[in-house]
Amino acid sequence: MNSGCPGQDLGNLRVSLHKCPNCGAEVEIFSDETKVKCHKCGEEICRDRVPSCIEWCASARQCLGEERWKEQRGED
């Protein structure tokens, strides 16, 4: 039995593309990463902001519970 967050399952990873500010190379940053090094020049590239699991995880509602999930989303 897995007692961890279902959103941490590697099957739920998402990728976003970011442009290296130093050399312009396109770099992938996965949803479980906050920063990576550019494969061309070695520059450290950070995500613009770290998303909450509520924004990207399909299991967030289940994990947090209905009341807390609605509260975090700003719903009444």
Print pLDDT tens along the chain (76 aa). Answer: 455 666 566 666 788 899 998 999 999 988 778 789 999 999 999 877 656 777 778 888 888 888 887 877 776 5
**Residue 53 counted as domain residue:** yes
Cα 29 from Cα 14, distance rounded (Å)? 8
**Residue 66 counted as domain residue:** yes
**Residue 47 counted as domain residue:** yes
Q: Which pTM value belongs to this model?
A: 0.51
Cα 27 from Cα 59, distance rounded (Å)? 27
**Residue 20 counted as domain residue:** yes
What is the number of structural domains in the chain? 1
**Residue 67 counted as domain residue:** yes
**Residue 43 counted as domain residue:** yes
- Give the burial string for 31-47 (b: 16+ CB within 10 Å, else e): beeeebebeeeeeebee
**Residue 4 counted as domain residue:** no
Predicted pLDDT at 1 = 43
Q: Which residues pair with 18 in a beta bridge?
A: 27
Question: 43 is in which domain, residue-wise?
Answer: 14-73
Predicted pLDDT at 26 = 94
Phi, psi of 22, rounded to the nearest 5 degrees: -90, -50
